[in-house]
Structure 1
């Protein structure tokens, strides 16, 4: 029992030491301010008038998490300082070695997730009017997308490359791509893939890795 108490005491001392070296304080407006041990790096997590959380630091990095995004992905965080502190620490780890990076996380009027930065990256993830998921990613003008068509099949595009995974009229799964690959899966093969990858989206990603990005 004594050893256990000494162990927890040592852990507590380490935590207190880390807290002393890297300070996170709450200012008079309720925002969180971080200062590194040497005082050379600072960061802030601030709630603006729109109830967005905005991260900024001394390296001109800025990440805006809009209110609708917070409600969907971090429900309740605006009233929880402990979770806000964890978020601040995560954003510091992701951004402190960068400089001049700006990003925005939002939910648009259709309920789609939008992630956009100042370096030519954009991600859109949501559902269409039929309830099918779709993902579209853009990097330096090059678009990559995965969506489900009206018949329930999956379609992938990346620049000029494309691939699809769908059932034929005989209820057999078919994979095809723009490199000329075409495979029909028997029931046993498909069952093995489903056991390993759990759903058709993950199976398509596996096949793309094997036959397009190999």
Structure 2
């Protein structure tokens, strides 16, 4: 008995391609993932209000002749009930009739205008997203800066312009200290005891912050 060779996919009609196991697998998975809900009317369940059983379909948002039904982007596929599916195709038939009356040049112009609108929407979305992220980052940095001001406001550092530091070294250390610990109080003294600096903590100062400032000074005072 001679077995019949299957018809190549390229020679199948679109309706026949919708019976292909590859498309059925994609269709069933999308319907399952989206909760068996019509994304047009919102019906969910097994029956319409009239009592008619609901048949869920996956509608292709657009068609191109070189793509197989299972090759479309998932975001262009829509779960619809059988009633909405018929309505969608009726609407598409009206649109396609109107498009069919356009000459090829006019059709190209229309396509370019649609693409320009789409590109503008994408650019606007990206700009809004970037702006939103930038604002969030700015707010986070502002909160962090204000937190640093609060943590450092009860600490005072006296920096002495000794022979080891000199006036320029003293000023440089004070600038770095101010940058590293916003809100800290810094006092420069020309003559002082035999040391480069002193950290004076107010009773309200946190001990861990005092230790942090002290450690930093030990590491940076002579650099």
Q: TM > 0.5 between the two?
A: no
- For the pair shown, the structure with the greater C-alpha radius of gyration is 2
Larger relative contact order (CA 8 Å, sep ≥ 6): 2
TM-score (norm 2): 0.20
TM-score (norm 1): 0.21
Report which of the two has the higher share of strand. 1
Report which of the two has the higher share of helix. 2
